[in-house]
Amino acid sequence: MAHLLEAKNITKRFGGLTAVDNVSFHVDEGEVVALVGDNGAGKSTLIKIISGVHKPDEGEIFLNGQEIHIDSPIDAISHGIETIYQDLALAENMDVPSNIFLGRERTKKILGFVNVVDYEHMSSESRKVLDRLDIRIPSLKSNIRNLSGGQRQAVAISRSIYWNAKVLIMDEPTAALGISEQKKVLELVSSLRKQGIAIIIISHQMYDVFSVADRIIVMRRGIKAGERLVKDTSTEEIVSLIVGAESVEKRSQ
């Protein structure tokens, strides 16, 4: 059976620098794949290719076995590939429903020809999706500015889920969060997996990676340095893949 999302032989160069060099990977329904690696290893470039920010120089992307072309972030979204960036891309001056429907507001006609924003509909739909993910936010009408970091993350995730994300890419979801909020976000990731969503997660936190991921892909200097199932590997092995085996050997001598 074809994978939900599969990238084959992706290469991306910036001038003389090869940021991603012939990398292939896949992710399936209800699977969490962690993408780890040092700064500059090419993780961000790789997900920016999947989410339509960059165009690959070489390689193909398949969704359910069919090749797709992702030329812009909007293309990616229309294929059900949603990305949650570190900055979450929320309008802090607006409330929860307005953010979940940002740029895709529901409208209704009044007087037969004027389209007005249907706030009630947006509000009830927002509540439904938050309930589905078991996210608690005291008042939907409070501006994002007044929410905690974890609640903001939850709103950003709910937005993706509401718009039928099949693949969810999360860039450092727990960075800049308090310990208890980190835990909540990780629980949310687990519950998303149960609902059959494919998740690609970039993280520096080994604890996060080992607590939620099924599979780990290690990037180093633009190439895929290794791929391990979480149940078959250890933190030490992953770290050694990240920093490069030689240096580990040297240290052990």
Partner 1 sequence: MAAESTSNGERLKQGAPGGGGFFQTAIGRFSARNWALIFLFIMIVIFSLGSSGFFDIVNFQNIIHLSTGAFLLAAAELLVVITGGIDLSIGYVYGLSSVLGAKVMQILYAGGAGGAGSMPVWQVIALGCLAALSVSILPGLANGVLVTRFRVPPFIATMGMWGICNGITLFLADGFMPVMGAPSEINAIGNSYFLYIDPSKSISFFAKPSYITQANIRSVLRLVPNSLFLSLAVLLVLGFVLGRTRFGKHTYAIGGSMDAAIRSGINVNRHLVMIYVIASFVSGVAGLFNLFQTGIGNYTPSGANYELMAVAAVVIGGASLTGGKGRILGTAVGVLVLAVLENGLQIIGVSAFYRYIGVGVLLTIAVIIDRAFPDLF
Partner 2 sequence: MQTETAEKQGTLPELLGRNWIALFIVLLVVFFSVVARSFFSFDTAQLIFFNGTEVFLLAIAELFVIITGGIDLSVGFVMGFATVVSSKLMVACVALGFSPFWSILAASVVTLLIGLVPGLVNGWLVACLRVPAFIATFSMLGVTHGISELLTQGIPTKNLPALAGDIGNGSFFYVAPGGAISFFSRPQVARGQTVLAIIPNMVIFAFLFIFLFAFILGKMKFGRHLYAIGGNIDAAIRSGINVKRDLIKAYVISSLFASLAGLSYVMKYITGKPDAGANMLLEAIAAVVIGGASMAGGSGTVGRTILGALVIAILETGLRIIGMQTFMTYILVGVILILAVIIDQVFPNRNR
Binding mask 84-103 for partner 1 (x = CB under 8 A): --------------------
Residue 40 interacting entry, from partner 2, partner 1, none, C-beta within 5 to 8 Å by type: partner 1
Per-residue CA distances from 195 to 33, 56, 226 (Å): 15, 30, 28
Which phi and psi (to 5°) does residue 108 adopt?
-130, 155
Binding mask 79-108 for partner 2 (x = CB under 8 A): ------x-xxxxxxxxx--x---xxxx-x-
Return the structure tokens found at 151.
């609640």
Which phi and psi (to 5°) does residue 91 adopt?
-85, 105
Binding mask 35-74 for partner 1 (x = CB under 8 A): ----xx-x-xx--x----xx--------------------
Near partner 2 by CB under 8 A, which window of 126-134, 147-155, 166-174, 245-253?
A: 126-134
Binding mask 4-23 for partner 1 (x = CB under 8 A): ----------x--x-x----
Residue 207 interacting entry, from partner 1, partner 2, none, C-beta within 5 to 8 Å by type: none
Per-residue CA distances from 6 to 25, 58, 61, 139, 198 (Å): 6, 14, 6, 39, 11
Would you call 188 helix, strand, or coil by DSSP?
helix
- Cβ 73 to partner 1, closest distance in Å? 11
- Cβ 162 to partner 1, closest distance in Å? 26
Close Cβ partners of 7 (under 8 Å, ≥ 6 residues apart): 23, 24, 25, 26, 46, 49, 50, 59, 60, 61, 62
Based on CB atoms, which residue is closest to partner 1, 44 or 126? 44
Interacting residue with partner 2 among 117, 175, 206, 243 (CB under 8 A) = 117
Q: Which residues from 132-191 bind partner 2, rule CB under 8 A?
A: 134, 136-141, 143, 146
**Rounded distance between C-alpha atoms, residue 31 and residue 12, angstroms:** 26
Return the structure tokens found at 93.
């001056």
Based on CB atoms, which residue is closest to partner 1, 11 or 148? 11
Asked whether position 75 contacts partner 2 by CB under 8 A, the answer is: no
**Rounded distance between C-alpha atoms, residue 208 and residue 206, angstroms:** 5
**Rounded distance between C-alpha atoms, residue 24 and residue 122, angstroms:** 39
Residue 229 interacting entry, from partner 2, partner 1, none, C-beta within 5 to 8 Å by type: none
Would you call 85 helix, strand, or coil by DSSP?
coil
Q: Which positions touch partner 2 (CB under 8 A)?
A: 73-74, 77, 85, 87-95, 98, 102-105, 107, 114-117, 127, 130-131, 134, 136-141, 143, 146
